[in-house]
Structure 1
Amino acid sequence: MIRLNENKQFPSKSNISYLKSISIEPVVFLYMLAIYINIPTDEALLYRQVCYKLYNISLCNSINKNQTNISEIIIQKYASIYVMYYNVVYTIPSIFISIIYGTWSNKYSHKIPMILVNIGCILSTIVNLFISIFKSNLSIEIFFLSNLIFSLFGSTSTMFSIIYSYLTYITTIENRRESIAIIESCLMFGSTIGSILSGILLDLTNFQLNFLFIIFIHFINIIYILIYVKEVLPMKENIFLWKNFTKTLFIWNDIKDSFKILFRKRKFHQRKYLLLTLAALLCSILTSIGESSIVYLYLKKYPLSFSQSLYGIFRGLKSFALSIGLLLILPILRYLFNINDMTCTILGTLSKCAIDFLYAISYSKTTIFMIPLFGMLSSYVVVGIRSYISKICNSNEEGKIFSIISSFESIDALIGSILFNILYSYTINIYPNFIFFLACFLHFLTLPIFM
């Protein structure tokens, strides 16, 4: 059980005023805008390519939302397994890249890793662009190349480990939680607009225009980072250390030191609290990632039979509700009840349980569209835990601790994707709702840790 000593005073870790350093928020928005246009587009493209692999093009084009024959079930099973393999290729390299980027950015530069992540997204999207053009003439396994490139340049979790590390340099302990909430809100607004646009663009245009638009957004983000994002490390130190750039590729001692941080002795039993909160965060992420990896298939399947536009609108509403929860509800709760980090995580966990329960009992679109309302507080888990961990760690540890968390999140995402996709492929004929009852139960298991 975790109890934060509310009377404990933590020293400020940065003299840089957050209000004078607002520069990272547009990076988050643009990145998430592109990613959330890309995710549904990739899912739809993968679903199409699986159908082309199993059947001919004319049959795949004839499958409509009311069809419930064996073809749909077979496509769903194969697509679920391919999603699992897809995530394996994506996750394994990103585990090591997250650690390298995290420790490297803590010493040298935050801007360069941010740019590299966006470059990786552009190259990955170009591969998918070619897949969409050549249709059935290319093997479906080429999707693995797309994800491999994405992960080798840094995954989404890598990007946010760098962003949160950067945030610790431009904020103080006193405004850290609010700053994280603003970042999460930019994330949610970007994902809201991206999700809605993805379905509309696909229904009105085609895969090629979607992918070109994604490339354009990442390109704009790179330009913004180069021009407007300021480095927070001393310039003289940067110039000196850049001379030894090649040495940064071999930082095994830094990696080893990063893992040691987790088990370093701390005052007030904070090592135990750190490990407990990390375990709870990983359980929550495992469940959330596993669930999200099969939601597209679940909603596309009869009787829900979501179209691409409807799926995009649903994802957009979820993200918008999360933004409202962070921008409006969280400040109100803090003002009226002065809630601490652990209370945030409890509220977030209960909200996640509600989401999974609604998925599990839903047989109509009306019930599904209640999920954004009940899931409005679900992002409080990440906000509360990240804020709590940043208060435990020293300033010279934060880059490393967030890179370790990012790597654990990647491993977690891999396990969650494998577990949930295998279970879904085996239960789709019997009881596809089972996967969401399992997710609800796993989220509920973390509640005692925060009390």
Structure 2
Amino acid sequence: MMVGSAMQWVSGVLSTITVEPVMLVDGACKEAMLIYTENVQMNKICSVKLGYSPEVCANLTAHPQESVNVQREFSLFAFYNSILMSIPPLIFILFMGAWSDKYGRKISLLVTMCGHMIYAAGYLVSHWQTTWPVELLYPITFFDALGGSNVGIISATTSYISDITNEKQRTSRMIVANSLWYLGGPVGTLVAAVMIKHVGYHLPLAMALVAYVAATVYIVIYVKESHGPFAGKNSHAQESAPPQKVTIVKMLADFFNWRRVAESFKTAFKRRDGNLRAILITVIIANSIRRLARGFFMYQFVRHVLHWDATDYGYWISYRNFLAAFGSLFLVPLCSKILNIKDTLLIIMGALSIVSEYACYGMVGGVAQTFLMWLGPAVSIISNAYIIAFRSMSTKLVTSQEKGRISAVMAALNGLMPMAGYAIYSPIYYYTVDTFPATQFFFGAILNLMVMIAFIGIEVSNAAVIHTNDDAEKGKKDDTSKSVPDEPKLNKLPVTLTPLSRSASLPSGRCASWIPKGSRQPPSRNEPTVWYSNALTDSELTASEVGGSYSTKTNLPTVFYWPNISNLSLRFGHVDNFEVTLSDRNDYKRLQMRYTWHQANLAQIKLSRTLDSPW
């Protein structure tokens, strides 16, 4: 019996696996390729560009001046390479994000993986051709960036998981997927370090290429489209539009639609209730600063200061990535779910941990301080809370229809940061490499300190009270508020609905409804009302929205009574230009499609809408 239950549980777990293996493989190959590519680049700079002998290039630690020259040339190459790493992903994400909302996520995943395959194959061939100049690596970077590179895979998998999960499942699935991506890092770097030491670079690069090919085949065969015209009748295609005929020409025309880019940035900067716009802009800027503050010349630093080779660095980066993955897989869920720590506090904790980490690296001046390199990752074990909290917080500040757009904006700006980072860090490292090469870490610590101070200000001013509650958007099949008691209290408070023009009765308007628990039949106005409901089901609401028509079955009472409860949920079938004002704005949370206010004494709600035609 127990064996059967265990097998059933295992089968259930396996059935939920979708893009997680892709995240694991991509995380491992990404970190492994980082070691491979930087060594290939430096070897070509040393032997081809500067013309040093193989003996000198193989033992730069014994030739200080040659080592400094190689480091400086590498910093310049890295800057120009970063431009190619940043601009194409920016364009890809801004267009592909909105495009995939219509046509599905699978194509986006495949395009990104094809870019990764070209990248691995290009470096493999370039390493074989020892006389090729380092500049030939630029087009290899360009083809990878054209598919979105790292921001492309993160954006596509995040959107895919959002499509196939409800709100309760989403957070845990996101944490698992992101943790596997980070966990793949130490696996990849450890394997890379061992293989470089024993077999050189050719076989590891070939293995990375094979791994990318395997991940691409897995996507084609096992990952089902989540929505859109290619979704078919699979289990993940919930609330998708009916299958429609599409052509390559139409898909390309929809992809190169500049209005999508404009809409994405309008979403980021449009006016919102209270100070939500200011907080959202702060989140976007702070997330970009977080990426900008990353140390871009870590490998060059340890080679020059600590005389590490690729194997030594591989062991250290494996240790660092393992601690980061452990923190995101166990400590971040502990803080957010069990201890109920808010997003703002998670950001403060993450920023503080990175400041401490960079302070450790900044005090490394030679081999005697090597222990600080191993202490740094330990003090920053919670640093990934930073990243997860930014993603979570940004989606809570916008409506459901805007989540894809705001994610695209953040991912696009994130993709620009390598270029901006190299533009800043390259001159810093270029002019300090022979005097105080750890300067870069203090600069990064200052940037993270600025982010920490900004969010301390938000927390102290109570501007982020909106983030103390869970996202009110329920799952696609679960639209019932779980926190409303079955037997409401008898003390009742009046709730008044006042539209802009005429009565709240909507015989020809767009559908609006209270979500009931149990029966969907509207109660009598004279009853102590807990619910008022539209007769439509959620699937009917969705179908009417997709088809461009709207329900006519709604008839809201102008005044009715609501018990004194702690959770109030509203459901609107279509909510462009929808605003809600409360008589008491001390603690509420605004979300598209479903709105929840945690109000001890809700006195009055005024609803106003801008429609194509008056009510």
TM-score of the superposition, structure 2-length normalised? 0.67
> Which residue is equivalent to 1:219?
213
Task: Give the share of equivalent positions with the same residue, in percent.
Answer: 21
Instruction: Give the aligned residue type for 2:360.
Output: L
Question: How far apart are residue 178 of structure 1 and its match?
Answer: 3.0
Cα distance change of structure 1 residues 241 and 392 upon mapping to structure 2, 3 Å threshold: farther
Question: How far apart are residue 331 of structure 1 and its match?
Answer: 2.9
> In 2, are the aligned partners of 1:177 and 1:384 still within 8 Å (CA)?
no
Instruction: Give the aligned residue type for 1:163.
Output: T
> In 1, are the aligned partners of 2:349 and 2:382 still within 8 Å (CA)?
yes
Question: How far apart are residue 19 of structure 1 and its match?
Answer: 9.3
Query: Is 2:60 the partner of 1:58?
Result: no
> In 1, are the aligned partners of 2:288 and 2:417 still within 8 Å (CA)?
yes
Instruction: Give the aligned residue type for 1:404.
Output: V
> Higher mean Cα deviation, 389-398 or 175-184?
175-184
Give the counterpart of 1:105 among 59, 80, 100.
100
> Which residue is equivalent to 2:125?
130
Alpha-carbon RMSD: 2.0
CA distance in 2, matches of 1:35, 1:336: 32
SS in 2 for 1:267: coil
> In 2, are the aligned partners of 1:18 and 1:171 still within 8 Å (CA)?
no
> Which residue is equivalent to 1:208?
202
> Which residue is equivalent to 2:149?
155
> In 2, are the aligned partners of 1:318 and 1:375 still within 8 Å (CA)?
no
CA distance in 1, matches of 2:413, 2:334: 32
Listed as ranges, the matches of 1:16-165 within 5 Å are: 21-52=16-47, 53-65=49-61, 67-135=62-130, 137-165=131-159
> In 2, are the aligned partners of 1:89 and 1:147 still within 8 Å (CA)?
yes
CA distance in 2, matches of 1:229, 1:269: 40
Query: Is 2:246 the partner of 1:242?
Result: yes
Give the counterpart of 2:447 among 432, 439, 442.
442
CA distance in 2, matches of 1:250, 1:411: 20
Listed as ranges, the matches of 1:339-378 within 5 Å are: 339-362=341-364, 363=366, 364-378=369-383
CA distance in 1, matches of 2:273, 2:350: 28
> In 1, are the aligned partners of 2:291 and 2:414 still within 8 Å (CA)?
yes
Listed as ranges, the matches of 1:225-264 within 5 Å are: 225-234=219-228, 235=231, 237=241, 239-240=243-244, 242-243=246-247, 244-264=250-270
Question: How far apart are residue 39 of structure 1 and its match?
Answer: 0.8
> Which residue is equivalent to 2:542?
none
CA distance in 1, matches of 2:388, 2:31: 20
CA distance in 1, matches of 2:382, 2:258: 39
Instruction: Give the aligned residue type for 1:317.
Output: Y
Query: Is 2:275 the partner of 1:269?
Result: yes
Instruction: Give the aligned residue type for 2:310.
Output: Q
> In 2, are the aligned partners of 1:162 and 1:399 still within 8 Å (CA)?
no
Cα distance change of structure 1 residues 238 and 146 upon mapping to structure 2, 3 Å threshold: farther
Unmatched 5+ stretches in structure 1: 1-16
CA distance in 2, matches of 1:254, 1:111: 20
> In 2, are the aligned partners of 1:106 and 1:400 still within 8 Å (CA)?
no
Query: Is 2:189 the partner of 1:195?
Result: yes
> In 2, are the aligned partners of 1:277 and 1:449 still within 8 Å (CA)?
no
Instruction: Give the aligned residue type for 2:246.
Output: W
CA distance in 1, matches of 2:385, 2:43: 35
Query: Is 2:293 the partner of 1:298?
Result: no
Instruction: Give the aligned residue type for 2:140.
Output: S
Instruction: Give the aligned residue type for 1:57.
Output: S
Unmatched 5+ stretches in structure 2: 1-11, 233-240, 457-615
Question: How many residues align structurally?
Answer: 429
CA distance in 2, matches of 1:345, 1:435: 22
Instruction: Give the aligned residue type for 1:376.
Output: I
Question: How far apart are residue 250 of structure 1 and its match?
Answer: 1.9
SS in 2 for 1:397: helix
Give the counterpart of 1:404 among 406, 409, 414.
409
Query: Is 2:414 the partner of 1:419?
Result: no
SS in 1 for 2:437: coil
> In 2, are the aligned partners of 1:359 and 1:436 still within 8 Å (CA)?
yes
Higher share of residues assigned strand = 2
Cα distance change of structure 1 residues 253 and 336 upon mapping to structure 2, 3 Å threshold: closer
Higher relative contact order (CA 8 A, sep 6+): 1
Question: How far apart are residue 393 of structure 1 and its match?
Answer: 2.4
Question: How far apart are residue 123 of structure 1 and its match?
Answer: 1.1
CA distance in 1, matches of 2:245, 2:39: 45
> Higher mean Cα deviation, 436-445 or 68-77?
68-77
> In 1, are the aligned partners of 2:193 and 2:314 still within 8 Å (CA)?
yes
Question: How far apart are residue 77 of structure 1 and its match?
Answer: 0.7
CA distance in 2, matches of 1:206, 1:97: 34
Higher share of residues assigned helix = 1
Deviation digits for residues 208-264 of structure 1 (CA, Å, limit 9, x no counterpart): 212111111111111111122222214364852632223223211111111111123
> In 2, are the aligned partners of 1:176 and 1:387 still within 8 Å (CA)?
no
CA distance in 2, matches of 1:189, 1:196: 11
SS in 2 for 1:369: helix
> Higher mean Cα deviation, 377-386 or 248-257?
248-257
